[in-house]
Amino acid sequence: MKKFHRHLIASLTTLALAATSVAAAAPAIAATQSTAVISAEAPRTADLVASASSDWGYWRSATAPASTWKTDTAAWKTGKAPLGWGRDTGPVGTVLPTISGSQPLATYFKKTFSVGTELPASLKLTTWADDGVVVYLNGREIARANIASSAQIGPNTYATAAPNSTTARQRLVTVDVPASALKSGTNVLAAQVASNWRATPNISFDAKLTATYSAGGSTTQPTTPTPPADGSVTGWGAPDWRDEFDYVDSSTGKPAVDPTKWNVRDRSTLGLLPDAAVVDKNQVTVDGNGIMHIRADWLDQPVIRTSGAGPKEIWHKTGYLDQRSLRSGDVSRSQQYGRWEIRAKVPTGPHTLGALAAFWLRNSQSGEIDIMEAWGYDNGPLRDQKINSATTTVHTQTSGPGNEKFFWTHSEHGGPVPVWDDFHTFAFELTPTYAAIIVDGKELARTTPAKNPTLWNKDYFGSPLHMRLNLHVGPSELYWGLPDPNNRAATQNLDFQVDYVRTWSYDG
């Protein structure tokens, strides 16, 4: 089956959310990848990516690459670093192509490399660029130079200075990188080089990433066994419904959401929600690796709310899927008891103020089970809920008196590795005799009708539950944060990535 053979699953931490490190086997940037597999006897330091490395992928074009460029390994043209274009670049290993007409402000680079199960104690990035640069490791920003700290990074981002290549090489940028940004298996070091003006005569770039390992013995992390290819779970067997997001639209020949499995919503069916985002079906896509993306992007101009609850100015557009019947022809699927599971990478961490990625269940009454809500980053005062984490919550209803959150496991989901670092599995089991919360295969909490009778109260949970998937934005400063159009760097474009959704029915 899809993807299980592509992932390395890291060890679980007790009563905590542990990171699941994965390495997608998408097409490599080049036929060979640099590999650094460090054993206990290896030197204390090692260059995972060396200066003047070969096999750097590059993209210099009038159009930007796919939005997933910072993390995917799709094939680009490759060359040896330093890479450059124009005059007075100094010695370069690869001369980039000239683009006819107006020159692009952004040139993109990425390089894959692999590490073994022994992860380093620390990392150090050394880079230079003519003119400015932003560097990412596995999609996580780790450095920027000659780029405004508040800048929203995109293809039209300008550098704030214009050092020539000689000066750039002499003024190396060196930063310490959190070791948690690295993972066992395949990693992607990516960089966007920005010019200070479109008529710039040149650009150039190189980077190296150095790992420092603890002295002495190996720090190899044990891994859990690879799950069965059919998705079987002890006590439940194989799922009886699943979406691996491998559907291909016959009319376009491209990956898409299967219309027989989900309703992809827009404003015509949902109206204006209280969130600070307009629902737009085009914000839900599937890439060539079978990953569904629910994105929340800034609008150029706000939508103005003339009535109802929520912010008056709505500055985002976002995606929303469900399995409920709102109109004729909608997918309608639900079950009273069973097991529900998602494998996803959530948009939390730096620059995600106001985000809330959600996988949740609702019924025809007022009961709601938020299997996974991932809260974005808040650099201001703490609110009533913990941020930068993932939660499970059961509500009897979601507004007004009696909005009971009786089953709350917030602190138990925050582990030593941040939840945004990679994909994780989140599952919920509900039967007539128990309910359980499971993260990365580890049961975190369990309750019974004797302990929490509300979950089995027929007034709230007396009807079947259907699934919903969406990426909230907003809706207020006091809830999970209201993005500020004057500080877009605090809420960069958000991407909720879903590998699969699976369900098991309860048969007693």
pLDDT in tens, 178-222: 888 888 888 999 999 999 988 888 899 999 999 988 755 443 333
User: CATH classification of 244-505 is 2.60.120.200, yes or no?
Assistant: yes
Beta bridge partners of 338: 430, 505
CA–CA dist 303, 315 (Å, integer) = 7
Helix or strand or coil: residue 115? strand
Query: What's the number of CA atoms in the CB half-sphere (13 Å) around residue 76?
Result: 24
Q: Give the model's pLDDT for residue 12.
A: 24
Residues in the chain: 508
Compute how many other C-beta atoms are within 10 angstroms of the C-beta atom of residue 246. 14
CA–CA dist 343, 233 (Å, integer) = 14
Q: Torsions phi, psi of 129, nearest 5?
A: -160, 150
Q: Using CA of residue 433, residue 438, residue 443, residue 445, what is the dihedral sign?
A: negative
Give the pLDDT confidence of 351-398 residue by residue, as tens digits.
Answer: 888 999 999 999 999 999 999 998 887 555 444 444 567 888 898 887
Report how far apart, in Å, the C-alpha atoms of 501 and of each of 246, 270, 342, 410 are: 12, 23, 5, 22
Q: Which of 371, 388, 374 is nearest to 445 (CA)?
A: 371
- Whose tokens are 């295969």? That residue is 441
CA–CA dist 143, 208 (Å, integer) = 13
Compute how many other C-beta atoms are within 10 angstroms of the C-beta atom of residue 150. 10
Taking the C-alpha atoms of 152, 155, 156 and 161 in order, what is their torsion angle to the nearest 10 degrees?
Answer: 80
**Fold classified for 4-212:** Jelly Rolls (2.60.120)
Domain limits, CATH 2.60.120.260, in the chain: 4-212
**With contact defined as beta carbons under 8 Å apart, do 471 and 357 qualify?**
yes
Q: Give the model's pLDDT for residue 413.
A: 42
Q: Give the model's pLDDT for residue 45.
A: 83
Q: Which of 291, 386, 315 is nearest to 71 (CA)?
A: 291
DSSP state letter for 419: G
Q: Give the model's pLDDT for residue 44.
A: 67
CA–CA dist 349, 251 (Å, integer) = 38
Helix (H), strand (E), coil (C) string for 47-115: EEECCCCCCEEEECCCCCCCCCCCCCCCCCEEECCCEEEECCCCCCCEECCCCCCCCCCEEEEEEEEEE
Runs of H (alpha helix) within 154-231: 165-170
**With contact defined as beta carbons under 8 Å apart, do 184 and 119 qualify?**
yes
**How remote is the C-alpha of 309 from its chain's centroid?**
29
**How remote is the C-alpha of 245 from its chain's centroid?**
16
Q: Torsions phi, psi of 166, nearest 5?
A: -65, -45
Q: Tell me whether residue 54 is exposed, middle or buried, using C-beta atoms within 10 angstroms of its C-beta: 0 to 12, 13 to 18, 19 or more.
A: middle
Q: E strands, 319-406, where?
A: 320-322, 338-345, 355-362, 368-375, 390-395
CA–CA dist 317, 305 (Å, integer) = 14
Domain limits, CATH 2.60.120.200, in the chain: 244-505
The two tokens of residue 129 are 């660029």
CA–CA dist 437, 426 (Å, integer) = 8
CA–CA dist 185, 114 (Å, integer) = 5
Tell whether omega for the bond before 82 is within 30 degrees of 0, i.e. cis. Answer: yes
User: H helices then E strands: how many in the chain?
Assistant: 3, 31
**With contact defined as beta carbons under 8 Å apart, do 319 and 281 qualify?**
yes
Query: What's the number of CA atoms in the CB half-sphere (13 Å) around residue 296?
Result: 33
Q: Which of 264, 231, 460 is nearest to 341 (CA)?
A: 231
Question: pLDDT per position in the chain (508 positions), as tens?
Answer: 444 333 322 222 222 322 333 233 332 333 333 333 333 343 468 889 999 998 899 999 989 999 889 998 888 999 999 999 988 888 899 999 888 877 899 999 999 998 877 788 889 999 999 999 999 999 999 999 999 887 889 999 999 988 888 888 888 999 989 888 888 888 999 999 999 988 888 899 999 999 988 755 443 333 344 557 788 998 899 999 999 999 999 999 999 999 999 999 999 999 999 999 999 999 999 999 899 999 999 999 999 999 988 999 999 999 999 999 999 999 999 999 999 999 999 998 778 889 999 999 999 999 999 999 988 875 554 444 445 678 888 988 877 666 677 766 644 344 445 566 688 899 999 999 999 999 888 888 899 999 989 999 999 999 999 999 999 999 887 777 899 999 888 888 899 999 999 999 998 7
Q: What is the pTM of this model?
A: 0.58
Q: What residues contact residue 139 under an 8 Å CB cut-off, 6+ apart?
A: 70, 71, 188, 190
Amino acid letter, residue 222: P
Q: Give the model's pLDDT for residue 404.
A: 73
Q: Give the model's pLDDT for residue 419.
A: 64
